Amino acid sequence: QVQLVEYGGGLVQAGGSLRLSCVASGSIVSINTMGWYRQAPGKQREWIAGVATGTSTNYADSVKGRFTISRDNAKNTVSLQMNSLKPEDTAVYYCNANLQVLGGTLNYWGQGTQVTVSS
């Protein structure tokens, strides 16, 4: 069984930092893209950052320059370093990974972790 488990999150004051991590485990053949999404109350889930198989990264304009995504292929891990946090960054953050498994290529989601930024 394949699963993504997220770590990190919590409550931080505006201007502070948090680091999220996500570990993929199970019968994984290989990992393609990995990324982070978030969903604020009353809003749709939005993509915020992604990293390809190599080191190519992309960011939503709302987090560019403040957030950094990275992956450790040896540990099947993707992380999100969040700096200069703002109250509008408050949301549930979800890890996403496109995985090659025995049955084919599938998208998986983590369970979500709450990030709350106080003003």
Over the chain (119 residues), what is each successive 10-residue block's mean pLDDT? 93 98 93 96 97 91 98 94 98 96 91 97
pLDDT of residue 102: 87
**Contact of 40 with 29, CB cutoff 8 Å:** no
- Strand partners of residue 54: none
pLDDT of residue 34: 96
**Contact of 49 with 34, CB cutoff 8 Å:** no
SS3 2: coil
For the chain, the first-to-last Cα distance in angstroms comes to 41
pLDDT of residue 53: 86
**Contact of 91 with 39, CB cutoff 8 Å:** yes
